[in-house]
Amino acid sequence: MLNSSFYNTPKIIIALDFCNKKSAMKLVNLLDPSTFYLKVGKEMFTTLGCKFVRELHQLGFNIFLDLKFHDIPNTVFHAIKAAADLGVWMLSVHASGGKEMLISAKKALKSFKKNTPLLIAVTSLTSLKEKNLKEIGIHMSLEKYVLTLSKLSNDCGLDGVVCPGREAKKIKLLYGNSYKIITPGIRCYSDNTFDQNHVITPKKAKEYKIDYIVVGRSITTSKNPIKKLNFIIESMK
């Protein structure tokens, strides 16, 4: 089993974006639950539901349930409570849901005390370019947008943000080490970027002091996922 515990190295969250359980479990069964985190996102959750999340949890994995809630405060409050009941380690909302929604999401976790999931907010999707922000009426630089939503999420008491790699260093400097940075869009040099527009290498992620990297297709589309994971681990040493 692969192990990637090194001091000051970004921890690896594997994005389990598969279309069926068999393919997902083929990879999961190769991983050490004490060192790799698993992300269950919209595709697998919609296909396999809560039962799958519980099964992964029972195998000993820390689960990032990445459903990126974005709704009215009351709906998000109850959705967060239900998600936390699954025993997941981390949950996500969209920071653009606004102040009241973020505060409501945080409040929903108050009753959990021990093993309270981390609550993090997505700032800008790593697939968005500045031109896409303009298309939805946001006329500011991507950096300013990410920093604005990071401040809002910090003010509302969230535990960290999902952000493109480029902005990570600034956010760490502003809010300190305990404010977690999670970065998707991780690619090795030979990888296809697919729909991502802000990609960084694992090595850069270490330089930027990112806490957790989310690695999906770099591994899941690889012919030899374990060799690829080893390469990623080595490049962050």
Nearer to ligand C5P, 160 or 216 (CB): 216
Q: Does the annotation list 72 as a binding residue?
A: yes
Smallest gap from residue 143 Cβ to ligand C5P (A): 15
Q: Does the annotation list 60 as a binding residue?
A: no
216 near ligand C5P, rule: CB under 6 A: yes
User: Could you give the CA distance from residue 209 to residue 168 in angstroms, rounded to a whole number?
Assistant: 7
144 is catalytic: no
| Structural contact between residues 228 and 219, judged by C-beta atoms closer than 8 angstroms | yes
Stretch that binds ligand C5P, among 25-33, 75-83, 146-154, 182-190 (CB under 6 A): 182-190
90 near ligand C5P, rule: CB under 6 A: no
Instruction: Select which of 22, 32, 42, 68 is catalytic.
Output: 68
165-194 exposure pattern, b = at least 16 Cβ within 10 A, e = fewer = bbbbeebbeebeeebbbbbbbbbbeebeee
Q: How many residues bind ligand C5P (CB under 6 A)?
A: 18
147 near ligand C5P, rule: CB under 6 A: no
How many Cα atoms are found within 13 Å in the side-chain-facing hemisphere of 100?
Answer: 5
68 is catalytic: yes
Distances (CA, A) of 21 to 89, 127, 131: 21, 26, 37
66 is catalytic: yes
Nearest partner of 232 among 222, 24, 89, judged by Cα:
222
125 near ligand C5P, rule: CB under 6 A: yes
Feature table: binding site for substrate: 17, 39, 66-75, 126, 187, 196, 216-217
